[in-house]
Amino acid sequence: MVDDRKLAVLRAIVEDYVSTREPVGSKALVERHTLGVSPATVRNDMAALEEEGFIAQPHTSAGRVPTDKGYRLFVDRMVSVRSLTTPERRAISSFLDGAVDVDDVVQRSVRLLAQMTRQVAIVQYPTLSRSTVRHVELVVMSPSRLLVVLITSTGRVEQRVVELPEPVSDLLVADLRARLNTATLGQRLPEAAERVGELIGAVPEADRRTVAVLLGALVEAFSDDRSDERVLVGGTANLARFGADFDRSMRPLLEALEEHVVLLKLLGEATDASAVTVRIGAEVPYEELSATSVVASGYGPEGDALATLGIVGPTRMDYPGTIAAVRAVARYVGRALTDE
């Protein structure tokens, strides 16, 4: 039903519409692309494409516009992700390499993404629960006050001061420190939290009450997921290019950008660090955002998905370019985090 030439026509329509923002007609199409057929033939193909819901007419006797379904087909069947040029790669890595800590990496990424795609960029902070334990430190501040420090694979430092019901000996602390590190090193935080819970069995009966408090604090530090909800948004100024369809598409988007929980849902679950997800129009899980698309990707060191980043923009966007940009930034951010 959808033969090669119809696909070519759809591709041409999508490309023209994205660049001109205007419904595209059969005549203009054959002029700008080398389809090798006459406008009349293109019209027939268009009628067929419309029949199947890939394109639509804003009104009778107007050109055609791709539908969500049309973009979907375009993205699925026709986007051969171009790899970036060497200068582009170099620009990205030099931009990210200057980062001094995790926060800085995230900030730079969001800027970079916004700049490259000319869309609104969203970067989720590396999820605590997906990162692993690099080091656990117990520090005696006073006989009954202990400082618990957790350093994760992404370089994040979490710390807690614990007030103990009874004093603990340095010996016990040293013992615990050693046990904790061997038990949790390299583990993901949720599993590490379980291991920590199990350690209570190895403690002398007399100290259990005190140690339980201490371990409790540590488990809490492990499972503190406030950072899961943190995202950074950038490139809002690119919204200005939305222009006319203001109240319809822009207002809800601006509202969504303030609700970080919404944004996280938009980005979706990070599945695989190398897979770019594209959600188009109605596929986006918010009705108000039915005129927007989301292009997202997981990212993380060594292809291990730590968190998600992506962009939000009008359904009418340059998918090949955007997908390439998101994929590239995700990859380089992953790399930058590993080097930390």
Interface residue list for a copy of itself (CB under 8 A):
137, 139-141, 147, 149, 157, 159, 234-237, 239-240, 243, 246-247, 250-251, 254-255, 257-258
The sign of the torsion formed by the CA atoms of 299, 271, 124, 276 equals positive
- Stretch 11-50: interaction string toward DNA, x if CB under 7 A: ------------xxxxxx-------xxxxxx-xx-xx--x
CB nearer a copy of itself, residue 37 or residue 173: 173
Compute the distance between CA of residue 64 and CA of residue 271 in angstroms, rounded to an integer: 35
Of 245, 72, 230, whose CA–CA distance to 253 is shortest?
245
CB nearer a copy of itself, residue 40 or residue 157: 157
Compute the distance between CA of residue 66 and CA of residue 73 in angstroms, rounded to an integer: 10
Paired with 279 in beta bridges are 294
Instruction: Work out what residue 46 binds among DNA, a copy of itself, none; the CB cut-off runs from 5 to 8 Å by kind.
Output: DNA
67 near DNA, rule: CB under 7 A = no
For the chain, the farthest-separated pair of C-alpha atoms sits apart, in whole angstroms, at 90
**Long-range contact set of residues 85-88: C-beta below 8 Å, sequence gap at least 24:** 88/328
Within 13 A of 302's CA, how many CA atoms are on the CB side? 6
Using an 8 Å Cβ cutoff, are 122 and 311 in contact?
Answer: yes
Instruction: Work out what residue 206 binds among DNA, a copy of itself, none; the CB cut-off runs from 5 to 8 Å by kind.
Output: none
Q: Which two tokens stand for residue 207?
A: 């100290």
271 near DNA, rule: CB under 7 A = no
Q: Which two tokens stand for residue 279?
A: 């959600």
Q: Which two tokens stand for residue 307?
A: 């968190």
Q: What's the min distance (Å) between Cβ of 221 and a copy of itself?
A: 14
CB nearer a copy of itself, residue 55 or residue 116: 116
Q: What's the min distance (Å) between Cβ of 309 and DNA?
A: 37
Q: What's the min distance (Å) between Cβ of 157 and a copy of itself?
A: 8
CB nearer DNA, residue 22 or residue 194: 22
Compute the distance between CA of residue 325 and CA of residue 336 in angstroms, rounded to an integer: 16
Of 320, 315, 270, whose CA–CA distance to 122 is shortest?
270
Helix (H) or strand (E) holding 268: none
Q: Which residue bears the tokens 């009954």?
A: 144
Q: Which two tokens stand for residue 162?
A: 């614990």
53 near DNA, rule: CB under 7 A = no
174 near DNA, rule: CB under 7 A = no
Window 236-255: residues binding DNA (CB under 7 A): none
Q: What's the min distance (Å) between Cβ of 234 and a copy of itself?
A: 6
CB nearer DNA, residue 69 or residue 135: 69
Q: What's the min distance (Å) between Cβ of 38 and DNA?
A: 4
Using an 8 Å Cβ cutoff, are 116 and 324 in contact?
Answer: no
59 near DNA, rule: CB under 7 A = yes
CB nearer a copy of itself, residue 49 or residue 180: 180
Q: Could you list the residues that contact DNA (CB under 7 A)? A: 5, 23-28, 36-41, 43-44, 46-47, 50, 57, 59-64
